[in-house]
Amino acid sequence: MRSQKPTHRGPRDERGVVAARILSVARASFAAYGYAGTSLRSVGRDADVDPGLVIYYFKDKRGLLDAALVPPPGWTEAIATAAAAPMRLRGAALVRTMIDAWEAPASEEFLRSTILTAAHEPIARQRLATNFAVHILDAVSSRLDDDERLVRASLAASQIVGLAMMRYVWKVGALAAMPSDQAIALVAPAVQRYLNGKLTGLDQ
Contact between 11 and 89 (Cβ < 8 Å):
no
116 binds, among DNA, its own copies, none (CB under 5 to 8 A by kind): its own copies
DSSP string, 78-92: HHHHHHTS-HHHHHH
Asked whether position 35 contacts its own copies by CB under 8 A, the answer is yes
Residues 45-74 that bind its own copies (CB under 8 A): none
Residues 4-43 that bind DNA (CB under 7 A): 5, 7-13, 18, 38-42
Least separation in angstroms between residue 177's CB and DNA is 35
| Cβ neighbours of residue 81 closer than 8 Å, sequence gap 6 or more | 93, 97
Cα separation values, 130 from 11, 138, 154, 185, Å: 37, 10, 14, 29
94 binds its own copies (CB under 8 A): no
Least distance in angstroms from the C-beta of 34 to its own copies: 4
119 binds its own copies (CB under 8 A): yes
Q: Of 123, 202, 196, 103, whose CA–CA distance to 156 is shortest?
A: 196
User: How many Cα atoms within 13 Å fall on the side-chain side of residue 75?
Assistant: 18
Q: Which stretch binds its own copies (CB under 8 A): 16-24, 26-34, 73-81, 82-90?
A: 26-34
The interface partner of residue 67, options being its own copies, DNA, none and the CB cut-off 5 to 8 Å by kind, is: none
Q: How far is the CB of 67 from DNA (least distance, A)?
A: 13
